[in-house]
Structure 1
Amino acid sequence: MNLALNLEMDGTAILLPVRAQPRSSKNGIEGVHDGRLKVCVTQVPEKGKANKALLKVLQTALKLKRSQIELYKGETAALKIFRIHEISRDELYTRIADAAGQSR
């Protein structure tokens, strides 16, 4: 299955579009919906708690170092963009597919 994910480049970094689902029953990547990676977190969206949880879920699921990922846009919105550094687009696709339980 091909991930219909809209990954864009920003210099050497990759912009990963995410749809955040706070107050979920579990933390994890739920797949791709409307060109965005759907990420569920149990935290509530207040005082940056859900954003921190999202970062942790993405970092763990995609096997990234903390220095490789940052919230780029959408601090207070459900639709967010994360900047990911020091990884190739193909490698990121592979890790996303593995984390979402899908093959490319």
Structure 2
Amino acid sequence: MGKPKQKDLPDLSHLAVAGAEIPVRVTPKASRNAILLIAQAESGQGVSLKITVTAAPENGKATAAVQALLARAMRIAPSDLELLRGATSRDKVFAYRS
């Protein structure tokens, strides 16, 4: 997995609130690693995250890549993120544990 430069990632440090749940939609085997912010005005939930990673969805490789990329954008350690739901799903929910 190639590391994207910090300037290429959105600043998600505002999500680093203890106990905060972070829902993401994952696309594995993409051409590049990226985090996209998608506005959801019709649902009233504000912004959702779509994360694309180059890792294949086998043996947890894609989930680990998503965790590392999300942590990098949030400017925290990957070990501070815990996967709550979606180990084998494209829709995942991470929780920030400080």
Does the pair score TM above 0.5? yes
Identity %: 35
Matched position secondary structure for 1:76: coil
What is the correspondence of 1:7-86 to structure 2 with a 5 Å cutoff? 12-32=18-38, 34=40, 36-86=48-98
- Distance of 2:80 and 2:24 partners within structure 1: 16
Secondary structure at the residue paired with 1:54?
helix
Shift of residue 62 of structure 1?
1.2
Distance 1:14 1:43 in 2: 26
Moved more, 17-26 or 62-71: 62-71
Question: How far apart, CA to CA, are the structure 1 residues paired with 2:78 and 2:84?
Answer: 14
Q: 1:79 to 1:13 in 2, by over 3 A?
A: same
**Which structure is richer in relative contact order (CA contacts within 8 A, separation 6 or more)?**
2
Question: What RMSD, in angstroms, separates the aligned Cα atoms of the two structures?
Answer: 1.9
Q: What number of residue pairs does the alignment pair up?
A: 77
Shift of the 51–40 alpha-carbon distance from structure 1 to 2, 3 Å rule, reads same
Q: CA deviation at 1:82?
A: 0.3
Q: Distance in 1 between matches of 2:33 and 2:88?
A: 19
After TM superposition, the score normalised by the length of structure 2 is 0.69
Aligned equivalents of 2:51, 2:39: Cα separation in 1: 10
TM-score (norm 1): 0.66
On the 8 A contact 2:83/2:92 being kept in 1, the answer is: yes
Unaligned runs of 5+ in 2: 1-14, 41-46
